[in-house]
Homo-oligomer: A and B are copies of this chain.
Amino acid sequence: MDEAAPQKGTVTERAIEEIKAMIAEGRLEPGQRLPTERELAARLGISRSSMREAIRALTVMGVLEARHGSGIYVTALEAGDLLETFGVVADLSRGPRLVELLEVRRILESTATALAAARITADQLAAVEKHLAAMNATDDPEEILAHDLAFHREIASAAGNETMAAILDGLSSRTFRARVWRGYQEEGAFARTRREHAAIHRALAAHDPEAARAAAAAHVGEVEEWLRAQLGG
């Protein structure tokens, strides 16, 4: 019938492209359920094993979601779904690449904080303050890190760009920060971090974008410079 398959690349890659195209062209809507693995495989004329590999790849990328016993669904395709893999990049980057990543974070974080200063609501500001207080009230590094992350996430969210917030979240992923912090805290940078956070909060409360941008840039730049020095000598 339709043996026009050009045979480009592996069959699994073709399957991946096929499903991506279905979504991009609107043949599959976010949240919609896909045909079963067995039918998808039959439809493309490939084995279920190959189709499963394609589905797994898209699942890991956050495009699809497989529910055991129920079916395969397209995710909401929101920023958070698709940008989760960004954390992997941060986890596997090393050396000079890590500094570059931190530079990207500095650029985005400073802009996001500036935007947040202009737009933040009272409720959002209260949430920021909650994490700031919790961060200063404990000595458990684990807990401090968690509230630190939430602190910045809340700010990024207040900037009104969920995509940017998701990227920043990935750039500040757990292992990434933990790795850098390990040696950083030992140099008494603890107090400095606390001061920087206070400065950021002050700028947000005053709705001062320029001050917020400067404070955020300095905050990230601090770590950036330290890391650069570590690599240099």
Binding site for B on A (CB under 8 A): 12, 16, 20, 23-24, 49, 52-54, 56-57, 59-61, 63, 77-79, 82-83, 85-86, 88-89, 91-94, 97, 100-101, 103-104, 107-108, 111, 161-164, 167, 175
CA distance A86 to B86 in the complex (A): 8
Q: Say whether, besides A16-B60, A57-B56, A61-B60, A93 and B104 are in contact (CB < 8 Å).
A: no
A60 touches B57 (CB 8 A): yes
* Residues on B with beta carbons closer than 8 Å to the beta carbon of A12: 56
Chain B nearest Cβ from A225, distance in angstroms: 15
* Residues on B with beta carbons closer than 8 Å to the beta carbon of A52: 49, 53
A104 touches B167 (CB 8 A): yes
Chain B nearest Cβ from A228, distance in angstroms: 13
Give the copy number.
Answer: 2
CA distance A94 to B57 in the complex (A): 21
Interface centre among A12, A59, A89, A93 (most CB of B within 10 A): A89
Chain B nearest Cβ from A81, distance in angstroms: 9
Residue from the list B53, B86, B108 in contact with A107, Cβ < 8 A: B108
Residue from the list B23, B53, B100, B162 in contact with A161, Cβ < 8 A: B100
CA distance A140 to B97 in the complex (A): 37
A163 touches B63 (CB 8 A): no
Give the nearest-CB partner of A95 in chain B.
B77
A61 touches B88 (CB 8 A): yes
Chain B nearest Cβ from A61, distance in angstroms: 6
A sample of 7 more A-B contacts (CB under 8 A), given A57-B60, A103-B163, is A12-B56, A20-B92, A61-B88, A63-B88, A77-B94, A100-B161, A104-B167
Chain B nearest Cβ from A40, distance in angstroms: 15
